[in-house]
Amino acid sequence: MSKEIPYKIYLEESEMPKEWYNVRADMKNKPAPLLNPGTGKPMTAEELGGVFCDELVKQELDNDTAYIPIPDEIRNFYKMYRPSPLVRAYCLEEKLQTPAKIYYKFEGNNTSGSHKLNSAIAQAYYAKKQGLKGVTTETGAGQWGTALSMACSYLGLDCKVYMVKVSYEQKPFRREVMRTYGASVTPSPSMETEVGRKILEEFPGTNGSLGCAISEAVEVAVKSEGYRYVLGSVLNQVLLHQSVIGLETMAALKKYDIKPDIIIGCAGGGSNLGGLISPFMGEKLRGEADYRIIAVEPASCPSFTRGKYAYDFCDTGKVCPLAKMYTLGSGFIPAPNHAGGLRYHGMSSILSQLYDDGLMEARSVRQTDVFAAAEEFARVEGILPAPESSHAIRAAIDEALKCKETGEEKTIVFGLTGTGYFDMYAYEAFHDGKMTNYIPSDEEIAASLAKLPKVEG
Amino acid sequence: MSKEIPYKIYLEESEMPKEWYNVRADMKNKPAPLLNPGTGKPMTAEELGGVFCDELVKQELDNDTAYIPIPDEIRNFYKMYRPSPLVRAYCLEEKLQTPAKIYYKFEGNNTSGSHKLNSAIAQAYYAKKQGLKGVTTETGAGQWGTALSMACSYLGLDCKVYMVKVSYEQKPFRREVMRTYGASVTPSPSMETEVGRKILEEFPGTNGSLGCAISEAVEVAVKSEGYRYVLGSVLNQVLLHQSVIGLETMAALKKYDIKPDIIIGCAGGGSNLGGLISPFMGEKLRGEADYRIIAVEPASCPSFTRGKYAYDFCDTGKVCPLAKMYTLGSGFIPAPNHAGGLRYHGMSSILSQLYDDGLMEARSVRQTDVFAAAEEFARVEGILPAPESSHAIRAAIDEALKCKETGEEKTIVFGLTGTGYFDMYAYEAFHDGKMTNYIPSDEEIAASLAKLPKVEG
């Protein structure tokens, strides 16, 4: 009955998902629609089509179709780096001396170093299919920009990346990886766009922000013939593509008759968390199974745990539609000492609705505790985790230690979204005892939330 | 009969090798023994035991046992990151429009980023088993130091790494990865050792060299109670452990009835090349099969193609035994513009003997051609290769292009030893057109070879 469980469960290529799973189809309370900030009305396909590819607009707005076929070209690309392994953390379990059984779905075995590639190739594919010349995007820590560069290089599509200036300068290696894949990388704010010039005039020495880079990328996409804008998180389409993570995880678990009790993912905009939990949440929504699902976010950018469920702008420049989500306010900028991604002020509308409906939990963790978990994990499991992923490691270790106290043999599954090769400055600060924790005050968050746009809905 | 070949062939854990293969057992002409530089006599087990662990000394001297069991503890560690995939380079084939079938064995899916871990864990395991406190080693580019740090951290063994000063300063990220695993990393030359102090006195501003770092690591090992020295390449024991690469490759090929025509590996000291080709060379030596085997080395450090087969010191400090090998002379230092590893002046004695016996070919490639191949490969195969590995990619592409001319459907297998995440400065130089080629003059090589020690043998 119970087969011996290997260290790494690999699916056969023939067992890889042939369809993405759209969790919205099983949600009783659908995620709130994007609103046009001008009219306050839901964005139409036509309005969205000026910014996004047509097929992606369709996916963005589709709340009903549960399974959407993955085109063969995308499946073939997936085969270059997928199926990703579901790893039994035998060594971590032994180190912790816990009766819990810990598994992680490892998405870092590709050059972009993270799960971002799953959606990057899909978005690039649809852009190519529509006959476009290229795409524009922004990147902060650089995982998304790298993934998109890879995907565009593979398809022969032009790729313009607006990289937050401070990251452009502090992470030259990320920039060079993107250049290896032939992308043009511009530090943002730049003089190339209206919004960039305006910001530089107003704040001459600014280091840039994700919100500004989004605004620049959108402006260039809208104004350039044959270009569209693409985004690596938050959107419904992104969660759809990322469902490949959860579907593979579920297939691998079922292959060995493993039933998870707790599923844990880190949460910034929700791309990984949403993808990982989708099929499990589907079973939960359909009443077929129950799972504890835990979103883990940084204490320095706690949208779920300290934000408000409200309509807000997706970008700081306020050129994007409004989304209903758990948000800290589009003007909220996490402390500069905060390493890695998960810096987004808001959260996927899908996840926000699920959380609001009490279908999942959320917790925030402090940066130094995250890096302590990262190091503990690296030393026994041999993978150097990204700071983002390490938020999930922290929570998984904490849950496993609870099992040690209670003696419960719970099965914990968490998402290990990527590797930390380009985050060694943060590891260095941690080793040297120079890493600090920043937790925003109630006043700071309240001030930011006070500026939320006034929207009915 | 012919099954459809997936993008990635993964063995089951149960199909992983249970024994290493010792190619020396099948060699008619055995590799020449290490000599004591003082007496000119072959090093005895006792003499070697002061520097290396007892079990490793046994492996170093064993020219007869073909199969040596892999201890369970090492096999369990291997399971954390092995079996590594044998990848069919469908995308590269299509890009090149070649009838050749290209496969690569990818060893970069672990945090050390390379194949070095295969021997690091073995050497650390035997040190632990002998009851030692720790090990010392040197590292240049950092792959070996990282791998050893990981292995020692896993086993709770102390790890002292002497890192060539220029790399210590230029590759702070590598250093931080080692620190994450709890290793102490000292820039070499240091004031901690006699040989370090001597060198600093003689050359106050020196940036260090691999040869000097070896000498420091050996000195500390010999003088410290409970420590031994370990090395990541060149030695027979290292090739033995690395045979796991070739054994897995052969098993994966046989699973799909694939018979390779050409096997290609990059060559510095020979750890990867020797491991990859071992079982294939075994078949060749036993007359069971024939393969073209190609060693690829940098034009800036061409030990096979322009060196001499002679006894030489393994280190610049001349504290180590003499080895008979293809060498450029222990004083030869590759040009500073040369990126990545493969900087060693000599070559594994086993490979040197096989090459001298005409059982394999060798060629050298220029640095800019190597990076052009690396970039071409990355853009279609989605893996950012290490500069070292890219030497093999260059040769594989060249062979595939020959097939395109002749129309031959040859099967090419090459070793992709690791990832280039910590080599982005070199990629940057390449992108910016600032990368240059250095090819040593005949006079330079002759001058270095003139200083070879006088040894009969």
In a mutagenesis test of the A interface, which of B384, B427, B435 is the best target, namely the one with the most A β-carbons within 10 Å? Answer: B384
How many Å apart are CA B141 and CA A371, to the nearest integer? 26
Look at A173 and B73; give whichever has higher pLDDT: B73
Bridge-partner residues for B326, per DSSP?
B309
Is it the case that residue B339 has pLDDT exceeding 80? no
pLDDT in tens, A241-258: 999 999 999 999 999 999
Fold of A19-30+46-69+115-229: Rossmann fold (3.40.50)
Mean per-residue pLDDT, A205-209: 82
Size of interface A-B (CB pairs under 8 A): 108
Q: Do A80 and B179 touch (CB under 8 A)?
A: no
A16: which chain B residues are within 8 Å (Cβ-Cβ)? none
B315, pLDDT greater than 90: no
The C-alpha atoms of residue A198 and residue B291 are separated, in whole angstroms, by 65
* A176 contacts B424? CB cut-off 8 A: yes
Distances (CA, A) of B368 to A176, B69, B298, B375: 16, 42, 10, 11
Cα separation, A283 vs A278, whole angstroms: 9
| Two structure tokens written together for B256 | 């799909």
State the best of A169, A384, A422, A432 to mutate against chain B, taking most chain B CBs within 10 Å: A384
Two tokens at B374?
């690396």
User: pLDDT confidence of A1, banded at 50, 70, 90?
Assistant: very low
Name the token pair of B153: 């951290």
CA–CA min distance A14, chain B (Å):
9
Cβ atoms < 10 Å from Cβ of A170: 13
SS3 content of chain A, % helix, strand, coil (to 5): 45, 15, 40
Domains B9-14+82-113+244-449 and B19-30+46-69+115-229 share a fold: yes
Confidence of residue A372 (pLDDT cuts 50, 70, 90): very high
Express as a percent the part of chain B with pLDDT over 90.
Answer: 83
> Going edge to edge, which strands form the sheet with A101-106?
A8-9, A86-88, A101-106, A411-416, A262-266, A292-298, A361-365
Whether A291 has a pLDDT exceeding 60, the answer reads yes
- Residue B2 has what pLDDT? 55
Average pLDDT over residues B264-288: 97
Q: Is the pLDDT of residue A272 over 70?
A: yes
Per-residue pLDDT, averaged over A71-95, amounts to 95
Residues A431, A419: Cα–Cα separation, whole Å: 18
> What are the helix (H) ranges across A87-188?
90-96, 117-129, 143-155, 165-170, 172-180
pLDDT, position B335: 78
Check whether B1 has a pLDDT greater than 60: no
Could you say which residues from 203 to 262 on chain A have a Cβ atom under 8 Å away from some Cβ of chain B? Answer: none
Question: Is omega for the bond preceding A71 within 30 degrees of 0, making it cis?
Answer: no
Residue that is written with structure tokens 């380009």 in the block: A422
Q: How far apart are CA A273 and CA A292, in angstroms?
A: 13
pLDDT tens-digit series, residues A304-322: 999 999 999 988 778 889 9
Residue pLDDT, tens place only, B216-248: 999 999 999 999 999 999 999 999 999 999 999
The whole-number pLDDT of residue A181 equals 93
Cβ B381–A80 below 8 Å, yes or no? Answer: yes
pLDDT at position B318 is: 81
Q: What value does the mean pLDDT take over residues B138-155?
A: 93
Average pLDDT over residues B125-147: 95
**Interface contact flag, A428 B172, Cβ < 8 Å:** yes
Where do we find the tokens 């719970």?
Answer: A410
- B6 reaches A (C-beta below 8 A): yes
Burial code (b: 16+ CB inside 10 Å, e: under 16) for B372-383 equals: bbbbbbbbbbbb
Segments making up each domain of chain A, as ranges: 9-14+82-113+244-449, 19-30+46-69+115-229
30-59 in chain A: CB under 8 A from chain B: none
Which whole number is the average pLDDT over A165-169? Answer: 86
Alpha carbon of residue B28 to chain centroid: 24
* Rounded Cα distance, A347 and A357, in Å: 15
Mean of pLDDT values over A7-34 = 96
Least confident of A43-57, A202-216, B46-60: A202-216
Pairwise pLDDT comparison (B104 vs A141), residue with the higher score: B104
Q: Which residues of B touch A419 (CB under 8 A)?
A: 111
Q: Inform me whether the pLDDT recorded for B26 exceeds 70.
A: yes
Average pLDDT over residues B96-116: 94
**Strand intervals (E) in B239-288:** 262-266
Q: What is the mean pLDDT of residues A66-77?
A: 97
A177 contacts in B (CB within 8 Å)?
A: 384, 424, 427
Looking at residue A456, its pLDDT comes to 63
Mutate which: A3, A379, A419, vs B, most B CBs within 10 A: A379
Query: Given a cut of 60, is residue A457 above it in pLDDT?
Result: no
Question: What residues contact B97, with CB distance under 8 A and at least 6 apart?
Answer: B404
Residue bearing tokens 């290396």: B52
Looking at chain A, the whole-number percentage of residues with pLDDT higher than 90 is 83
* Band of pLDDT at residue A2, cut at 50, 70 and 90: low
CB B404 within 8 A of CB A207: no
For A382, the closest of B7, B110, B378 (CB atoms) is B110
Q: Per DSSP, what are the bridge partners of residue A311?
A: A324
The identity of residue B254, as a single letter, is K
Query: What sign for the dihedral angle of Cα A322, A325, A328, A332?
Result: negative
Say which CATH class A9-14+82-113+244-449 falls into.
Answer: alpha beta
Q: pTM of the prediction?
A: 0.94
Helix (H) or strand (E) holding B18: none
Q: Does the distance separating the beta carbons of B427 and A382 come in below 8 Å?
A: no
Residue B170 confidence class, pLDDT cut points 50, 70, 90: confident
In B, minimum Cα distance to A427 occurs at: B176
pLDDT average, residue stretch A283-298: 98
Residue B350 corresponds to which tokens in the numbers above? 């086993």
- pLDDT per position as a tens digit, B428-457: 999 999 999 999 999 999 999 999 998 865
Question: Is the confidence at residue B427, as pLDDT, over 70?
Answer: yes
B160 closest CA partner among B195, B130, B131, B185: B185
Tell me the shortest Cα–Cα distance from A10 to chain B, in angstroms: 8
Average pLDDT, chain B: 94
| Residue A183 contacts residue A109 (beta carbons within 8 Å) | no
Burial A409-441 (b: 16+ CB within 10 A, else e): ebbbbbbbbbbbbbbbebbbbbbeeebebeebe
| pLDDT in the model for residue B140 | 84
Report whether pLDDT(B302) > 80.
Answer: yes
pLDDT reported for residue B332: 86
Q: Residue B333 pLDDT more than 90?
A: no
The closest alpha carbon to B85, from A8, A118, A153, belongs to A8
| pLDDT tens track for A386-423 | 999 999 999 999 999 999 999 999 999 999 999 998 89
CB neighbourhood size of A18 (10 A): 12
